[in-house]
Structure 1
Amino acid sequence: MSEKLKMLAGKPYNPFDKELLKLRVNARKLTEAFNTTSISKLSNRKKLLKQLFGRAGENLFIEPNFQCDYGVNIHLGENFYANYNCVILDAAEVKIGDNCFIGPQVGIYTSSHPIEPSPRNQGVQFAKAINIGDNCWIGGHASILPGVSIGHNVVIAAGAVVTKSFSDNVVLAGNPARIVKHIKDVETE
């Protein structure tokens, strides 16, 4: 099994594998071009993001600076917005639904390292996919950790650290994040 397939399967892998290095360099080139493209050339920015991501809806807007590991493992729905300095470490798939908005300096991290020092010092990594449903709003400086799934209609408060999965229609806050409110959709009443 290739290191890329191990990575995508959530197994320990070597991030210094030549194929993975090549993919990361490609992502760095595309993000560098995106981050340095003028605000007056929005169509060029969008084209670069479409080349970078595995999938992205038509209504897509990301403020620079944006960083990711591979790009191809990121799948975005329609009507997506990310504010300044978003980081998505996409060694595993990151799927984000429709109508999602991300505040400044949010981190979405699929990558992790062993807790044991010996394999960690040898560079071993693993990754777990992250899924975020439709109609989510993630506040500034929030962090979403490996393997987390977030339901639909979820608000994640600024600074929250999401360490486990949560279902639909909730507001999350704190470190570790916990439910602080249930959301009742006024349109369905």
Structure 2
Amino acid sequence: MITEKEKMLREELYNATDPQLTAERHKARNLLQQFNNTGPGDSDLRFFLLQELFGKCDKSLQIEPPFYCDYGYNITVGEKVFFNFNCVILDVMPVTIGNQVLFGPNVQLYTATHPLNWQERASGLESGKAITIGSHVWLGGGVIVCPGVSIGDRSVIGAGSVVTSNIPADVFAAGNPCRIIRDLSPEARTLTV
């Protein structure tokens, strides 16, 4: 028989009140509470707690507390990634973050979603879709990334944007919904010089 966790990780409707999932969220909350209570001089303790929490992270990872997530184990982080204060990752599905990514304060990544049909939604079932963020990306303060979105390498997302669809590499995008404003590729730079 398929478990609720297996359903969750297959992007199927699942019951988040399942005892296994509830216990895993509680474990994450305990690690986050410890992490969020650390001080600026506790870098070794912070890294230890993040290693316990995340699926994969590098020692160069910097997160300014407070930070929040659902499970942690679905988060994979590359090298030299920085999260400013009060970031949230709802990681019911994998969240993959490349190298040298900058997150402004209050950035929120949501893999979790709910059915549009009110009767399904009233049943308490939910689902999720993975998020991928390439390398050298900068997400300005207050950016919200919705379920299933990918953001390409070297792109910049303007502060306060709501990213509802994929953003290619080498662009500046902003707004609600987020849309491409300008090409940042090397070719575009040579054309404007």
Q: TM-score normalised by the shorter chain: which range applies? A: over 0.9
Q: Give the secondary-structure state (helix, strand or coil) at the position aligned to 1:164.
A: coil
For 1:25 and 1:151, how far apart are their aligned partners in 2? 33
Does 2:143 align with 1:142? yes
Q: Which runs of 5+ in 1 are unaligned?
A: none
Structure 2 counterparts to residues 37-186 of structure 1, below 5 A: 37-185=38-186
Does 2:43 align with 1:14? no
For 2:56 and 2:43, how far apart are their aligned partners in 1? 18
For 2:12 and 2:53, how far apart are their aligned partners in 1? 24
For 2:84 and 2:41, how far apart are their aligned partners in 1? 17
Q: Give the secondary-structure state (helix, strand or coil) at the position aligned to 1:5.
A: helix
1:34 match: 35
For 1:38 and 1:140, how far apart are their aligned partners in 2? 23
Shift of 1:149: 0.8
Shift of 1:37: 1.2
Shift of 1:113: 0.5
Shift of 1:166: 1.6
Q: Which runs of 5+ in 2 are unaligned?
A: none
Q: Give the secondary-structure state (helix, strand or coil) at the position aligned to 2:42.
A: helix
Q: Aligned letter for 2:155?
A: V
For 1:16 and 1:48, how far apart are their aligned partners in 2? 25
Q: Give the secondary-structure state (helix, strand or coil) at the position aligned to 1:179.
A: strand
Q: Give the secondary-structure state (helix, strand or coil) at the position aligned to 2:173.
A: strand
Shift of 1:185: 3.7
TM-score by length of 2: 0.95
Q: Aligned letter for 1:25?
A: H
Off by >2 Å, runs of 4+ in structure 1: none
For 1:50 and 1:148, how far apart are their aligned partners in 2? 25
For 1:153 and 1:5, how far apart are their aligned partners in 2? 33
Q: Give the secondary-structure state (helix, strand or coil) at the position aligned to 1:158.
A: coil
Shift of 1:105: 0.2
Shift of 1:79: 0.4
TM-score by length of 1: 0.96
* CA-to-aligned-CA distance 1:150-181 (integer Å, 9 cap, x gap): 11001000000000012110011000000001
For 1:63 and 1:185, how far apart are their aligned partners in 2? 32
For 1:9 and 1:166, how far apart are their aligned partners in 2? 24
For 1:110 and 1:82, how far apart are their aligned partners in 2? 18
* CA-to-aligned-CA distance 1:63-98 (integer Å, 9 cap, x gap): 001000000000000001000000000000000000
* CA-to-aligned-CA distance 1:34-80 (integer Å, 9 cap, x gap): 00012221211111011100001221100001000000000000001
* Equivalent residue pairs, number: 188
For 1:125 and 1:14, how far apart are their aligned partners in 2? 7
